[in-house]
Amino acid sequence: MARRDEAAGEGTAVSDTRASAPPVAAPGRVVLAMEGIRKTFPGVVALDDVDFEVRAGEVHALLGENGAGKSTLIKIVAGLYRPDAGVIRVDGEPVEFRNPADSLERRIKVVYQELDLVPGLSVAENVFLGGYPRTSHGLVDFAAMRRRTTELLGELGLTIDPDRPVGELRVAQQQLVEIARALSRHAQLIVMDEPTSALSSGEVDILFGVIARLQERGVAIVYVSHKLDEIYRIADRVTVFRDGKRVVTEAAAATTPRQLVAWMVGRDLQDLFPKTAPEIGRPLLEARGVSGSGLHGIDLTVRAGEVVGIFGLMGAGINTVGRVLFGASERAGGTVALDGQAIRPNTPRDAIAKGLGLLTESRKDDGLVLPLSVRANMTLASLSRFANLSWIHGREEARAAGQWVDRLSIKTPSLAQPVRYLSGGNQQKVLMARWLLRQHNLKVLMLAEPTRGIDVGSKAEIYRLIDEMAHGGMGILFMSTEIPEILGIADRILVMREGRITAELTRAEATQERLVAAAAVGRAPASAGVAQEAGD
Amino acid sequence: MERAPALDIEPTARERANPLAGAVRWLFRTQEGILLVVLIALCLLLARLSPVFASERNIFVLLSQMSMTAIVAIGMTLLIVAREIDLSVGSMQAFVGVVAMQALNATEHLLAGLAVALLAGVAVGLVNAGLTLKLKINSFIVTLAMFSIVRGLAYTFTAASVQNHHKLESFRAIGTGFAFTLPGIGRVPWPVVIAAAIFALFAVILNKTTFGRAVYAVGGNPRAAELSGIRVDLIKTLCFVITSVLAALAAFILISRMNSGQNNAGFGFELQVIGAVLLGGASLAGGQGTLLGTLLAVLLLGTLNNGIVLLGINSSWQVAVNGLVIVIAVLLDARRRRSLGQD
Amino acid sequence: MAAVQGQPGMRAPARVGGWRRALLPVVRHEELLLLLLFLAVVAFFMVVEPSARSTTAYLNLLRDISPNLIAGVGLTLLLLSGEFDLSIGSMLAFSGVATVSVFNATDSMWLGILAGLLTGPLVGAVNGYLVCVQGMNSLMTTLGMMFVLRGIVYVWTNKTPVVDENKFTAFTAFYQSDVLGVPAPGLIALALIALGHVMLTRTEFGRNIYAIGGNPTAARVSGIAVNRNKFLLFVLSGTTAAIAGVLVASQTGTGYFDAGVQGFELVVIASAVLGGVSLNGGEGTLVGSMLGVLTLGMTGKGLRLMNVHITQQLVVTGIVMLIAVYLHGVRKRLLIESRSWEE
């Protein structure tokens, strides 16, 4: 609340305005310094003795695979988590962030991937949420708020009616509203968590223009992204995380994409991916000209015994492919057939009955039934196997579920444990088991980012299972935004960008560079040199 | 046994080795266990304080009275587990009561009256389900509107109560007769037998059949259920219909007991039923709740009311005590959740 | 923004139908839609019922409906923050009985009114404490409080109306009086609505209610004290219900033990929902909610003028409610479509 006066800011008509904006740190000065930060969660060391610093006026890119510790670090900076050990200094002073308000007080603003906007409120109100300017009567000064919002959005090169409800804006505009919100609080450090994942290339240009302007004003930016081309476009320095540790901090210009990937992955991929020679049979899943839900003219074929990978950056629509083929998202046009039988659109039941399975990308939204037991979650899609005239044979069901708990080494005290209490990796294995229990009725299994947010050991386990299922004659469609695993397990890779398939590469042809290029600019180059090409 | 999911944490290895420790844990850590402990303590207390309490007559009167709440609460448990609600069950008591009584008087046939009652239940259930699922209006609102409409229909049907003109013996027996004699205990009233049978039937359905499992899945996560091949709308429709039919059955027992169909019957009944279901451990968020918990909650509330009467306390306290029990149950639940680190 | 990936039709084909575009102002401004609905109801009754054409009928409507409007103010604000208060029906009786009882005990009219009004913040604070500090579900908590309060009133009054022994004519005359031709209770309601409207639209507290109801995480990370604000809203809801209760008592100078027992809380919630308030919080306006109260009130009043039996009004009321809620759904869909027209 103390920030209200400043938030009202700079020479507006707000009656109780005292000061103009406080000065932003001089360029080069260390704004945020984190020393020896450690954070553990039950069973996992999320951050292990990490040092990290950000200087005024720099764009500091944060890189790392999922689970490397980036998001934990961000949440500590935001005041959402408290570190177990370590010191945080802002402007050289040691600080303690007990809640988000403390962090905001230090003029640090995190722009999250899940936008923290109130859809029903206007743009102006969202920008000033938590600290509205007031008139002398104590009422909200809408005039000042509107004017300041227009100014702030103007600084970002944006003209949006400040009275429009935020819910009516496009995602890119919403993102810029979040940044305007940071400016309204005179943030000296803005953390952007994968800000471009839902933006078109034109919108990305606008965002980068904004970032450049912020930099000139001395604002420090921490930029989290998977996209190497973006990092080479805007980052001054890069810090790479792996398995909760900081691997390196380096000037961006002094690194090569190959180096960055090596730092990020840092392990021998062959051990992770027990890929064996495939025996590819007849076509099973055939999609022709599928559109809807943001997809355009998707053609693909998955054959028996084949693992087909779909790669794309966040927002490219890779997971939507699985959802549309399965009927979980709207299919507007095109045909889908499984083993010669047409699959009706928008009816998951029909897809399942004909032998298709889908492991969705969001465990909690449409995967797990959180209050139900491990066993009930596992057998949800195959319950009829254990039932006569709908009477469930509990013992058979328990035996079958128990076998998979053992085989997948799922850590749970019992089969009756509500799945809510399992760790993310174990929850993911429960969902894998749901489809494994349907194996004999399953011709093609589609998996959307099945390894997201889980530890390396569980990942390897899941890769092994995929390989095993393919060997059993099943077709696999594997959707992922992570290059190493796509390269590691797919026999054939489709690359997507903006809802279209832009390239198809065999296992032999596929390289990191080609994938990135096809995903970022829409075509696969003959040779390497991604960063330069995408960066120009 | 696959217990319906509760908030409790699973027993540790040591507790599994020692069944007694597990039982103690169940008694004091689960909603059902706590209700059972409180119920037994209350019964012992009342038996000491009032010589009448433990008498055969009192126990069976008590159980007969509770049977109607129990029957409707069984359906409501299914519905709440499936993440829907029905506020129209109180108005159903009036509507089904007058319609069924009229049918009885017109046909002089027990089954005709019962059939009319149950058909009315099916009809209202289908309307509730249709409006909720097809027009996609929150069931709280739909059934709130039906709460008015059904009550209004009862009044429209008859301005006064409908008396039982023909005094069918078999009809009166449903509410006030006895099914059989339990040796050493006494004559068991029909309402108690009916309620017990329905409880057993739905306990089996909810725990042992694919339908029961689907109810939990649909309430716990409708999207996940749909993507696993479950027909979400069908399951929910069935739950709505079951609830309304059971409400109609309770109304039928009620008119038999009162020997008339009254158009003002069942005021506030829906909130009593919902209160009992939630006290029994079901969650409005869906996917959680057991019939055992519901039954124990109904018994606890009924026994409390009975105790208030027996001890000669102003019967007006009944309402307040019911409310207090609900508040305390929710408070305990909130604390338990917090200690488990949820939310 | 992984969620964005799966969203169907982010850019729906923008075929602009002429009639749809014509509807846009109505779609945009919910209050306009509600006003039209209200006027439609008024027009209907004016056509079919001559006595609905007099101004007096509407002034009397304002008088009759004032308790609903007043209690609706506090409840609407609470609903907007995503919480419930089911205890306001019992509050009506509690504050009324408190008022008249204190009349009789102290022979002072002002002390009585003060006592009646103070019951509001008192009960509101209890609700607020249980929900905001103890983390209890507000639907359940206030359901329990509804029974607790009603029970206390029953015990207190022994289920007999509490009559004002002093016959304070000023108290009863106030309810019947007019100021500048407008019924006095209606004026109080209008004043509270104006106050509430200004607070909701012009103060930071009011705007924060929308943030809390619309996206609690966003509210928290923006440094808004979510629980403190909610606590205040519970106190407010109790207070407006108490004001309504004192007014109900002043109708005849009697504290009724069963005031509001026929689902007052449900009617007010239904009115708010009819007025576009979302039960999930964050959506709706006070003006809309009040138009909802008026529409339901007018429906009842018109039917009464037509001599439709009070009880049959329930059917019509329920149907009006369903239509209104359905229209809100349609409006929302049109609003979403309208976005694609502009881009």
The arithmetic mean of pLDDT across residues C34-61, rounded, is 86
* Optimal mutation site among B206, B228, B231, interface A, most CBs of chain A within 10 A: B228
**Which of A214, A233, A268 is the last residue before a domain boundary?**
A268
Report CB contact under 8 Å: A366, B10: no
Q: Structurally, how many domains does chain A consist of?
A: 3
Report CB contact under 8 Å: A328, B288: no
Residue B198: alpha-carbon gap to chain centroid: 10
* B-contacting chains (≥3 CB pairs under 8 Å): A, C
Q: Do A192 and A308 reside in the same domain of the chain?
A: no
- Is A362 among the domain residues? no
- Is C261 among the domain residues? yes
Q: Which of A343, A331, A348, A345 is nearest to A284 (CA)?
A: A343
pLDDT tens, residue by residue, A352-407: 999 999 999 878 888 999 889 999 999 999 988 898 888 999 899 999 999 999 88
Q: For the domain that residue A50 is a member of, what is the CATH number?
A: 3.40.50.300
pLDDT of residue C110: 93
- Chain A positions touching B224 (Cβ under 8 A) are 366-369, 380
Q: Do A105 and A117 reside in the same domain of the chain?
A: yes
pLDDT of residue C115: 96
Report the distance separating Cα B340 and Cα B343, nearest Å.
9
- Is C137 among the domain residues? yes
The arithmetic mean of pLDDT across residues C54-78, rounded, is 92
User: C216 CA to chain B: closest CA distance, Å?
Assistant: 13
- Is A231 among the domain residues? yes
Contact status of A349 with chain B (Cβ, < 8 Å): yes
Within A439-499, strands assigned E span 444-448, 475-480, 492-497
Report CB contact under 8 Å: B144, C148: no
Burial of residue B153 (number of CB atoms within 10 Å: 0-12, 13-18, 19+)? buried
**Which of A268, A287, A320 is the last residue before a domain boundary?**
A268
* Optimal mutation site among B327, B337, B338, interface C, most CBs of chain C within 10 A: B327
Residue B53 phi, psi dihedral angles, 5° rounding: -50, -50
Report CB contact under 8 Å: A358, B11: no
- Is A405 among the domain residues? yes
Domain that holds residue A415: 370-441
- C173 CB contacts (<8 Å, ≥6 apart)? none
- Is C18 among the domain residues? no
CA distance readout (Å), A76 to A34, A96, A432, A473: 10, 10, 32, 46
User: B148 CA to chain C: closest CA distance, Å?
Assistant: 5
Tell whether the model's pLDDT for residue C1 goes beyond 60. no
Q: For chain A, which residues score pLDDT lower than 50?
A: 1-23, 25, 269, 524-536
CB nearest B287 (choices: A328, A371, A375): A371
Tokens 């060391």 -> residue = A45
DSSP annotation of A354: H
Residue B47: HSE in the Cβ half-sphere, 13 Å Cα cutoff: 10
SS3 C69: helix
**A336 forms bridges with which residues in the sheet?**
A287
Report CB contact under 8 Å: B10, A414: yes
pLDDT of residue A72: 86
Report CB contact under 8 Å: B156, C144: no
CB nearest B149 (choices: C137, C148, C319): C319
DSSP annotation of B108: -
Burial of residue B123 (number of CB atoms within 10 Å: 0-12, 13-18, 19+)? middle
Q: Do A234 and A300 reside in the same domain of the chain?
A: no
Report CB contact under 8 Å: C1, A294: no
Q: For chain B, which residues score pLDDT lower than 50?
A: 1-14, 341-343
- B103 CB contacts (<8 Å, ≥6 apart)? B112, B113, B115, B116, B117
* Tokens, residue B334: 């909130």
For residue A236, the surrounding DSSP H or E stretch is none
Q: What is the dihedral of CA C234, C239, C242, C247, to 10 degrees?
A: -140
Residue A442 phi, psi dihedral angles, 5° rounding: -110, 125
Domain that holds residue C76: 28-338
ipTM of the complex: 0.82
pLDDT of residue C114: 96
- Is A361 among the domain residues? no
Q: For the domain that residue C219 is a member of, what is the CATH number?
A: 1.10.3470
CA distance readout (Å), C39 to C42, C183, C272, C298: 5, 21, 17, 10
Q: Structurally, how many domains does chain C consist of?
A: 1
User: C307 CA to chain B: closest CA distance, Å?
Assistant: 13
User: C281 CA to chain B: closest CA distance, Å?
Assistant: 13
pLDDT tens, residue by residue, A499-509: 899 999 998 88
- Is C225 among the domain residues? yes
Q: Do A258 and A290 reside in the same domain of the chain?
A: no
Q: Do A459 and A433 reside in the same domain of the chain?
A: no
The arithmetic mean of pLDDT across residues C199-206, rounded, is 91
Report the distance separating Cα A256 and Cα B241, nearest Å.
66
- Chain A positions touching C282 (Cβ under 8 A) are 118-120
Report CB contact under 8 Å: A394, B216: no
pLDDT range class, residue C27, cuts 50, 70, 90? low
Domain ranges of chain B: 54-266
Contact status of C204 with chain A (Cβ, < 8 Å): yes
Q: Which of A66, A69, A93, A91 is nearest to A81 (CA)?
A: A69
Tell whether the model's pLDDT for residue C274 goes beyond 90. no
Q: Do A116 and A37 reside in the same domain of the chain?
A: yes
Residue A348 phi, psi dihedral angles, 5° rounding: -55, -35
CB nearest A171 (choices: C1, C214, C224): C1
pLDDT of residue C19: 61
| Chain mean pLDDT for chain C | 85
User: A322 CA to chain B: closest CA distance, Å?
Assistant: 12
Q: Do A255 and A151 reside in the same domain of the chain?
A: yes
Are A27 and A56 in contact, with CB atoms under 8 Å apart? yes
Q: Which of A348, A312, A314, A342 is nearest to A328 (CA)?
A: A348
pLDDT range class, residue C22, cuts 50, 70, 90? low
Report CB contact under 8 Å: C143, B274: yes
Tell whether the model's pLDDT for residue C51 goes beyond 60. yes
Are C70 and C247 in contact, with CB atoms under 8 Å apart? yes
SS3 B280: coil
- Is C343 among the domain residues? no
pLDDT of residue B315: 78
Beta carbons within 10 angstroms of residue B336's beta carbon: 17
For residue C198, the surrounding DSSP H or E stretch is helix C184-202
Q: What is the dihedral of CA A166, A171, A177, A181, to 10 degrees?
A: 100
* Tokens, residue B288: 């959680």
User: A388 CA to chain C: closest CA distance, Å?
Assistant: 37
What is the phi-psi region of residue C9: left when phi exceeds 0, alpha when psi lies from -120 to 50, beta otherwise? left
| Chain mean pLDDT for chain A | 83
pLDDT of residue A267: 57
Residue in A closest to C340 by C-alpha: A168
What is the phi-psi region of residue C177: left when phi exceeds 0, alpha when psi lies from -120 to 50, beta otherwise? beta
Q: Do A250 and A278 reside in the same domain of the chain?
A: no
CB nearest C215 (choices: A116, A140, A168): A116
Report the distance separating Cα A457 and Cα A216, nearest Å.
44
Report the distance separating Cα C96 and Cα C82, nearest Å.
28
Are B113 and B55 in contact, with CB atoms under 8 Å apart? no
Q: Do A203 and A115 reside in the same domain of the chain?
A: yes
Q: Which of A345, A397, A342, A393 is nearest to A373 (CA)?
A: A397
- Chain C positions touching B135 (Cβ under 8 A) are 326, 329
